[in-house]
Structure 1
C-alpha cells in the first residue's frame, strides 16, 4: 500500500493585489464531428477543408505548447523566488516582509511562517495600528499605512485561522483514511464515519492524492483498490 500523504490549501484575502491570471483548460478534440455550439460552422469537405482543419490543429497545438511553457516558467520563477526569500527576525521586519510578498504567495508564506505569527507578532501589529490611528498629524501616507496594515492584519488572521483549521481536518482525515484502507469491512467503516459526520472533502482530497501517488509509483493494485474505495465513498458524501 502506498504511504499516506496530504497537503494544505486555503484561500485568504489579498493585501496588495495584482491581476490574476485565469486558469485555462487544455483543449482536447475527442470527436471532430461533435460541434453542438456550431463553433466550426457548417461541415466542409474536400482538400481545402482538410487543410484548414489541419491548420487549426497546428495553431491549437502551438497555443497549448506556449501555455504549458508559460506554466513551467512561472513555476520555476516562483520556486526560485521562494528560495531567495529569507524571513526576518523581528515582528516589525516581518510585517514589511508580508507587505512585500506577492498576493499569490501569501498562503505559502503563512504556512511556512505559521509559528512566527504568534501573539507577540499580532500585538506588535496592533500597537502600530493604534499609534497611527490616533496620530496627531494624519498625513496621506499615514492613512495609506493604516489601510495597508488593516488589510494585512485581516489577511493574516483569516489565513492563520484557515491554516489551523485545515491542519486539524487533515490530521483527522489522515487517521480516517488509514482506518478505511486497513478495514476488513470498508462499507461498515464508511457508514460509521457517515454517522460521525467524518466523510468530507478533506478526506476525499487526501484519498485522491494517494491514488495519484500510487499511479506515479506504478502501484497499480493499490491504486485500483483506492479507486474502488473512492467510488464507495462517493455514495455517502456530497462534494
Structure 2
C-alpha cells in the first residue's frame, strides 16, 4: 500500500512537471511568434501595390492575422486598385491577384460582421451594468430580446478576465449578473 501511494505521488509530480514544461514551451513559442509579427512592417495607405506585395510575402498561416491587422488599410481604394491590377496582369500573376482579392475581400466582410456582432453585446452589457435596478433591466432586456448567447459569452469572459487579474469582487459581481441572466437564456 505504501509503495503504491509513493508511486502515485511520483507519477503526479512527473505529470505536473511535464505540464509545467509544456506551458513554458507554449509561452515561449507564443512570444517568439508575437516577436516575428511585431517585426513585420506594414506598408502605408498611400501605396496599395506595396500592400499587395506585403500580402504576397506573408506566410499562408499568418494571412488571417495580417488581414485583421491591416484592416484599416483595406479600403475601397485598395480593392479598386487591386481589381484594376488584375485586369492588367496575365497568367500566374493574375491568378495570384484574383486569389488575394477573393481572400481579403471575403475575410474583411467576415471581420466587419464579427466586429459588429461583438460591439452589440458590449453595448447591451454596459446598459445592464449601469442600470440602477439590475433585475428590472434584465426583465426589460428579456422582453426586448436583448439577452442572447453573445451577451452571455461576454459576461462570462469579463468574469474570467477579472478573476485572472485577481479582481475577486468584480468577478463575483459578473458571475452574479451572469447567473441572473442565465435563467432566461439557454447557454
TM score, norm. by length of structure 1: 0.65
In structure 1, C-alpha distance between the alignment counterparts of 2:131 and 2:180, rounded to whole Å = 14
CA RMSD of aligned residues (A): 2.6
User: Which of structure 1's runs of 4+ aligned residues deviate more than 6 A?
Assistant: none
Larger RCO: 1 or 2 (CA < 8 Å, sep 6+): 1
1:170 and 2:118 equivalent?
A: yes
In structure 2, relative to structure 1, the CA distance for the partners of 1:96 and 1:56 (3 Å cut) is farther
- Please state how far the C-alpha of 1:52 moved relative to its aligned partner: 4.3
1:126 and 2:83 equivalent?
A: yes
Match of 2:176 in 1: 228
Aligned partner of residue 236 in structure 1, secondary structure = coil
When the two structures are aligned, how many residues end up with a matched partner?
Answer: 185
Match of 1:21 in 2: none
1:153 and 2:101 equivalent?
A: yes
Deviations 1:165-205 (A, max 9, x none): 23223332222111111223323322333343332343233
- Residue segments in structure 2 that go unaligned for 5+ positions in a row: none
Match of 1:188 in 2: 136
In structure 2, C-alpha distance between the alignment counterparts of 1:235 and 1:95, rounded to whole Å = 50
In structure 2, C-alpha distance between the alignment counterparts of 1:125 and 1:153, rounded to whole Å = 7
Deviations 1:179-232 (A, max 9, x none): 111223323322333343332343233323332343345443332221111012
Match of 1:101 in 2: 58
In structure 2, C-alpha distance between the alignment counterparts of 1:151 and 1:195, rounded to whole Å = 46
Aligned partner of residue 41 in structure 2, secondary structure = coil
Aligned partner of residue 152 in structure 1, secondary structure = helix
- Residue segments in structure 1 that go unaligned for 5+ positions in a row: 1-44
In structure 2, relative to structure 1, the CA distance for the partners of 1:200 and 1:131 (3 Å cut) is farther
1:117 and 2:74 equivalent?
A: yes
Deviations 1:127-172 (A, max 9, x none): 333344xx3xx4xxx1xx4554344323322221122223223332
In structure 2, relative to structure 1, the CA distance for the partners of 1:156 and 1:236 (3 Å cut) is farther
TM score, norm. by length of structure 2: 0.80
Match of 1:215 in 2: 163
In structure 2, C-alpha distance between the alignment counterparts of 1:96 and 1:124, rounded to whole Å = 13
Match of 1:84 in 2: 39
